[in-house]
Structures are given as C-alpha cells and as structure tokens.
Structure 1
Amino acid sequence: MNATHGGPDAQGVARWDFSTNSNACGPCPSALAALQAADAGRYPDPAYTALRASLATFHAVDVERVVLAGSASEFIARFTAWVAREGGQRVWLPAMAYGDYAHAARAWGLQRVPDAAQADLAWLCEPSSPLGEPEPFAHSVAAKSPRVVLDLAYEPLRLSGRCSLGLEARESVWQLWSPNKALGLTGVRGAYAIAPAPAVSDARALDGLAPSWVLGAHGVAMLSAWVSPDAQAWLAHSRSQLSDWRVSLRERLADCGWIGLPSDANYFCAAPPRPLDDAALRAVGIKLRDTTSMGLPGHWRLGVLPPAAQDALHAALRQQEVAA
C-alpha cells in the first residue's frame, strides 16, 4: 500500500507538524498515566470483558453492539472484507475522503458507484476529512445503502456545528470511534465500532473475523481511559483552547494571502496564493498535509497548533513571499 498520511515521515518528526489532526493540547494527562501504568508483561483479557462493558455504558448501548478494532484502519479493512464475504460488490465513497476506504474496496474488488442506492457498503465521515465539514449527502446515503459506516474520528474534536446525523439517525448506521486523535495519542492504536441495534449478529460475525488479542495492553488502557470523566473533562477544556488557536491560525494564513475553507473541526484546508515550496518548509521543521490525494488539489490541510508553531509557519511563509 502506497499510502499518504500526515505525521512523521522519512525525515522523522517535524518540529511544527501541521499535517496531523491530533489534539495539539495533548497528550491527555489521565490517558497518558493509564498507558504508563499498563501491564505490558501480560496478555489482556481475550474477551475484553471490562473494556466492552465500559464502552457500552459510555454510549448507553447493549454490550453486544460493541466491536473492538486494532485501529480505525484495521476496522475499515475488516468491515470491507466482511461485506465482500457476504456477497457485496459495490461501494459508495464521499468525493473527498480518507484513502483507506478506497484502498480496502480495491483490495476486495468492490466497485465504486456514484449512487448509494446501488452500493452494498457506504462510508461517511463527520466532521469530514480533509474539509472538516458535514457530509452533504449523509441523510440520503444513510437511507439508501443497506450498510453504512459513519467514521466519527473527529467528532470529539468538533469545535463548531453538529453532526448531520442526530442520535436517532445514528442508530441505523455503524459508528466508528478512534479516540487516539482526540486524546493526543496517535502513536497508540485502538478503536471500536457501535453496531446498529438490529445488527448484533453482524457484530458477532465481525468479532469472528478479528485476530486474537486485536488490542494490546496499551490499546486497552487508552480506550478505558477515554470514557473516564477525567479524560472527557480534559477534552472539553481542550476544545475551548483549540477554538482560540484556530482563529489565530486563520488570521496568520490570511495575512500571507491564503484562502481558508470553512471547517467545524480542529483542522481546515487552505489554498496558498502561489504554489507552495513544501520542501523548504520541511527543511525548517514545518510540515503541512497536501490534500491532492484526498481529492482536493491546490490546497493544504492544517491541524491547529499552538501560537509558537503558528509564529514559525507565518515567518516561513513570509520568507517564501520575499524569495518569490
């Protein structure tokens, strides 16, 4: 798989990494403490009894609806494989989306179709990536396709607006949660899905396709901490800080002639006034996310970072303007 992602690259970790959507206020202290206390010398409970119960309580659903995953990407691959095994042949994807949806579809021979009514599987993501906006076809897709997965990776980092699908509408779709971004712990893998209420047998089938110990001790610790009152309180406070930082980042980019697009999340896309020398930025420790591979050429996605990072970006962009 030749994937394009944000975050570290062959040059290592960028000092000012705007390419990732991880919570820049993180890592969450209580979640980090849980990771540090995790017992890596033993296997977790293979049934994940306590973890499943805590996630079910947090979402107020029956525990049978909880499907654990090694990561969101692992769930995307496994769910697509299950749909293909069940005879699915067609998939609907948003025009701009995370590349793993399409990669999994290609791996299992699913054909992309323009109408969700023709699809055996449909993917939604809100806030969307790369835009951080509502999916304009969310309601019609949820009504048309027999299997819809709503990727909620960025819902905990929503800074404005609300999800297109309300709580009642979400009950009819699969909900995919991967809280490592919200907790500022993207190096720790772990995710879970909430199956629609009538799909308990499908949830069991997906569990049956998972490898043994799909989550290690650290994934269990992170997901257990995620649902704690301390982590949720910290997350709520971080959203307030991120909202302020988002305003200042937009102002700095506008000062350099960039045109920013709307977003409800802790990231947004923007277009520079002239082609960007991203290699020069990377050389001074700054990394942005080119959104061409996500269906949005000519734009860059920027995660919201603290003022010191924004100052470094502003100075580097000004320097490129002078050089031009």
Structure 2
Amino acid sequence: MLERYGHGGDLRTAEETYGFPARQFIDFSSNMNPFGPPEGVKRVLLQYAEQIDRYPDPAVRGLRAKLAQLHRVDEQSILIGNGAAELIDLVVRAIKPTMTALAYPCFTEYGDAIIKAGGSITPVMLSPENDFALTESMLAECNARFYMFGSPNNPTGQLVDPTLIMKLVYRGATVVVDEAFMDFIPEEEKFTLIREAAVNERLFVIRSMTKFYAIPGIRLGYMVGAPQQITALRKLQVPWSVNSLAQLIGEAVLDEQEYAARTMEWLKDERPWLIGRLEELGLRVIPGAVNYLLVQLPERPGLTAASLQYEMGRMGVLIRDASHFIGLDDSYCRFAIKLRHQNKWLLQALERGLSKFQEAGIR
C-alpha cells in the first residue's frame, strides 16, 4: 500500500514496493504543479548558504507583508506556519471543539487533528449521486458548533459555496476553510473567504504555498483570521516554526506572475483534455475544479483501486488509492493532472492496467 503514512507522494515507499529508484516514477499520487518550482526558488537556494548562520525572523514579517498586500488584509490577520498541516492542528488545539462536523470524503488530517485534541466528529456524508457536492440540505440537521471544510475539497475537487459557509458563521458556528488548492481556481475571488476571515472571529481560512508553487519539501502555509484570534494562535505556535529558507522562498514565489499565468493557462486546456481521454477508457470522472481528478473505475472482476495502483506502479506510474478516504469505496482513484506528455504516459499505463482485468474477466 503506497498510502502507508496516509498521503500520496511517498516515493520512498514506492521504491521499497517496486524496486525502482524514485527518479524513474511518474507520480500522479501527489497534486503538485507539474512545472516544478519557479525560477525564483532556485535563485534563493543558490544564495541561501550565505544566510544559513542567521536566525529566521520569528514574526515572519517579510512574507506576512507581501501576503497582506496580495489579499488586501491587515498583516495582523495572517499567521505563517510550517505547512497547512501545522495550522490545521494548531487551530483545533486552540479552539478545543467538543463536536466537529466534517463533510466526508475529506482530507484525512482534519479528523486526525480533532481526535488528537480529544474531540468528537459528526459526519456529513457527501453523495456520489450528487458528485460529492456539499449542499445546504445536508447541513440542515447538523447542530455542531465547529466545522472544517476543504474548498476545493480533497479528494473530490469540489468547491463549497461561500454563502453556505457564511450562513453557518452567522448562526454562531466557527468554521475553518482549507483553501490549499484555491490558487488553481480561475475565479478565485468569487470563492475565497480570506477577506471575510480577516474580520470575523468565527472564520478561519488556511492556505498552502506548496501545491501551486511545487515546493512540498519546503513546509509553508498560512492562516487568515481576525487579529485577536491570530494573536492567540501565535502564542500556541512552536517557536521558530517557519525556517528562514521557507520564508525567503515564500517571498520569492509571490513575485512569479508569469509562472502563475502559465499554470492557469495550462490547466484550462489540460484538464478537459485529460477528462475526455479518461472517459473514453470507461472511467467516471467527478466534475471538480482543480489540478487533480477523482475517478471511479468501471466494474470488472478483480479491479479495485488497490489492484490497479499495484499494476500501474509496476509500470513506473503512481496513482492514489482513494478508498482510504472515508466515504469512498475501493472503486475510486485520484490522479494529479500533469503535462501532456506525462498524461499520455498515465493513459497508456491505465489502458494496459485495465486490459489485464478485462482479460481476467473473459477467461
């Protein structure tokens, strides 16, 4: 099982499972920008040796200032963290909710953070018949005082209607919105709740900087909330949580306007192209909105997400077995969207892998 530690992108486990060196895999299990890090990251790395003997800024002032300007919010509304995962854990520890509503399937670390903090979970099960979209009717009978949503949601790729979230806030609930993949949305301004979070004590928005800028090895994310809430969270944060290299890279990538435009142009064309090819192979594609696709496999003897993952791994192509997400069965996989030549490799491996199960059924 490639998801031994609960995530995609585990190349060390892939090496141990299939016996290939990491560089020989094409990894569709991890949802990173396929262009790789922008040029600004390389420049920072080349210069960093001259600064490694200095302490990082404990207040992360340079990056906070740039993010505040980008989102047009107060700097005091921003908290930088060691990836979105740290901030998810931090906000749960700070609020200590006794009962939290989670819409399944969703990012596994939401539930992990809640359980570690001693809380309980009220499940809101998203429906495959409704393409896993969250609707107001699903929340009508939910009386939780704390909610966590992914928008876009992982693994479904579905956005959550911002008005639905604000209705929960207005009726007195506290809501955390994980917008880790929001950078990939062309109409980001229509869906993000960053500016609302900056002035509302019951709303928090978490962003990742590692997905869009392809820097997962540098743990970097940020949270936006009302200044008094952010101050309280900062007091609970581990000192020196964000190292100086991460801070410098974060500042550098925000200047990469050409890189961002190229990414959006690529996704606009590549996403519908890949969806069409996957549907031609008989897969059902869930209509999400980002740089990954949740798909349902056709019914064939012996064909499951795990068995297909193993067959494709033997061909050097890694995919995510999505059955490990609560609310999905063993017919669901998740694929990152990559560059055209890489996506063709995915399709070729899929066709070969699927044909093995078709042949098994005939025999």
Shared fold by TM > 0.5? yes
Which of 11, 14, 36 pairs up with 1:11? 14
Which of residues 205, 222, 231 in structure 2 aligns to 1:204? Answer: 231
Q: Deviations over 1:45-65 (max 9, x none)?
A: 222222222222222211111
Contact 2:158 2:288 survives alignment (8 Å): yes
- 1:75 Cα deviation from its structure 2 partner: 0.8
Instruction: Provide the residue aligned with 1:49 in structure 2.
Output: 61
Q: What residue ranges of structure 1 are gaps of 5+ in the alignment?
A: none
Which of 221, 240, 247 matches 1:213? 240
One-letter code aligned to 1:34: V
Structure 1 position 96 matched with structure 2 position 117: no
The residue aligned with 2:116 is 107
C-alpha separation between the residues in 2 aligned to 1:157 and 1:134? 12
Q: CA deviation at 1:167?
A: 6.3
Aligned-residue RMSD, C-alpha: 2.4
CA contact (8 A) 2:194 2:224 kept: no
Displacement of 1:2 in angstroms is 6.7
1:30 equivalent in structure 2: 40
Flag the 1:316–1:227 CA change in 2: closer, same or farther, 3 A. closer
Whether the 8 Å CA contact 2:309–2:320 is kept in 1: the answer is no
How far 1:308 moved relative to its partner?
A: 2.1
1:178 aligns with 2:211: no
**CA deviation string 1:96-116 (max 9, x = no partner):** 210111000000111113569
Distance 1:303 1:163, change over 3 A: farther
Aligned partners of 1:18 and 1:286 also within 8 Å: yes
Give the equivalent residue in structure 2 for 1:247: 272
Cα separation, 1, equivalents of 2:258 and 2:222: 21
Q: 2:44 & 2:355 partners in 1: Cα distance? A: 48
Q: CA deviation at 1:118?
A: 3.4
C-alpha deviation, 1:149, in angstroms:
1.4
Shift of 1:262: 0.2
Percentage of identical aligned residues: 24
The number of residues matched between the two structures is: 316
Q: Is the 8 A contact 1:83 1:120 kept in 2?
A: no
Flag the 1:232–1:170 CA change in 2: closer, same or farther, 3 A. Answer: farther
Q: CA deviation at 1:258?
A: 1.0
Structure 1 runs (4+) greater than 6 angstroms displaced: none
SS at match of 1:94: strand
- Residue of 207, 217, 238 corresponding to 1:187: 217
For residues 207-286 of structure 1, the aligned pairs below 5 Å read 207-228=234-255, 231-273=256-298, 274=300, 275-276=303-304, 277-286=308-317
Structure 1 residues 134 and 236: alpha-carbon distance in aligned structure 2, compared to 1, 3 A threshold:
same
TM-score, structure 1 as length reference? 0.89
Asked which structure has the greater RCO (Cα within 8 Å, sep 6+), the reply is 1
Partner residue in 1 for 2:76: 64
Structure 1 residue 313, shift from structure 2 partner: 1.9
1:321 Cα offset (Å): 3.7
Between the aligned partners of 2:95 and 2:144, the Cα distance in structure 1 is: 11
C-alpha deviation, 1:161, in angstroms: 8.0
Aligned partner of residue 44 in structure 1, secondary structure: coil
Q: Per-residue deviation at 1:151?
A: 1.0
TM-score of the aligned structures, taking structure 2 as reference length: 0.80
In structure 2, C-alpha distance between the alignment counterparts of 1:161 and 1:51, rounded to whole Å? 21
Matched AA of 1:106: I
CA distance in 1, matches of 2:4, 2:98: 23
Q: Distance in 2 between matches of 1:35 and 1:151?
A: 29
Query: 1:31–1:183: 8 Å Cα contact kept in structure 2?
Result: no
| Contact kept in structure 1, 2:218 and 2:246, CA below 8 Å | yes
Q: What secondary structure, in the 3-state scheme, does the structure 1 residue paired with 2:104 have?
A: coil
